[in-house]
Chain A
Amino acid sequence: MKRSYVPVILLLAVLMLNIIFTQYMVHQYFYEHYTNTIIAAVINVILFPIAFLIYKKGVNVND
């Protein structure tokens, strides 16, 4: 049973990006740059299916 920890690392990276874009989104809203706010929100939403795909791929490999 050989496990791959690459998906775990990738998921952690995705979560870090989530944190970064969330803070960016909130700050851009405060500074009234609403277009940037929407861009950051969309990226945050897109990161979720990416995380789910990484999970799906990672669960079945060598486990």
Chain B
Amino acid sequence: MAYKNNKIPFDEDNYTHNINRNNERKLDRRGFMKTLVGAAGVFAVSSLPWGAMAAKELAGLGDKKYPKHKITAVKSIAIGDAVDFAFPGEHDSAILIRLSENKYVAYQNACTHLRCPVFWKKDEGEMLCPCHHGKFDVETGAPIAGPPRRPLPEIHVKVENGAVYAVGVKRYEA
């Protein structure tokens, strides 16, 4: 402050308009580059959750773990027969079908139409929901006839020491 006018208050009315607003809104080269860097930052931040989710999948945290559950003994289920059980919860009814000597399939047997129980038709070789005649492919659980449009949820089974165990539920994608 080299200059003082020795008046109190100062003889000026420039408190509210003392900002030079010329060209404030102009997007020059520098401002444009700033915008581009900001956009790159937004891309970087927005890809973090994808990386986190992918890492979670790789670490196997996405799969739910259930204690393995003994369904039946191998001796008591003949080839082509089915047995009902409950997995993973006591109210999640499911069906195990022995297709051949070593091939077992298991599905949660609530029909994906209106949750009627699905039965195994041994002589026809397909799974039938008697409520509306929905049919499912026994190999994959995919719907092949009738109203259901989604496959039956599959249960992973394992044969150990002469018994069949349910070890997990396949992730449901539909």
Residues of A within 8 A of B (CB): 3, 5, 7-8, 11-12, 14-15, 18-19, 21-22, 25-26, 29, 32, 34-35, 37-38, 40-42, 44-45, 47-48, 50-52, 54-55, 58-59, 63
Contact of B50 among A32, A41, A48 (CB under 8 A): A41
Main secondary structure of the interface of B (DSSP, over half): helix
Known pairs A15-B36, A40-B50 / 15 extra A-B pairs, C-beta < 8 Å: A3-B29, A8-B32, A8-B36, A11-B33, A25-B50, A29-B50, A34-B54, A41-B50, A41-B51, A45-B51, A48-B43, A54-B33, A55-B36, A59-B30, A63-B29
13 A–B pairs (Cβ distance < 8 Å), ordered by A: A8-B36, A11-B33, A14-B36, A15-B40, A22-B47, A29-B50, A34-B55, A37-B50, A37-B53, A38-B58, A40-B50, A41-B51, A44-B44
The 3 closest A-B pairs by CB, nearest first: A41-B51, A37-B54, A48-B44
Task: Report Cα–Cα, A56/B44, bound state, in Å.
Answer: 18
Main secondary structure of the interface of A (DSSP, over half): helix
| B residues near A7, Cβ cutoff 8 Å | 33
Residues of B within 8 A of A (CB): 29-30, 32-34, 36-37, 39-41, 43-44, 46-48, 50-51, 53-55, 57-58
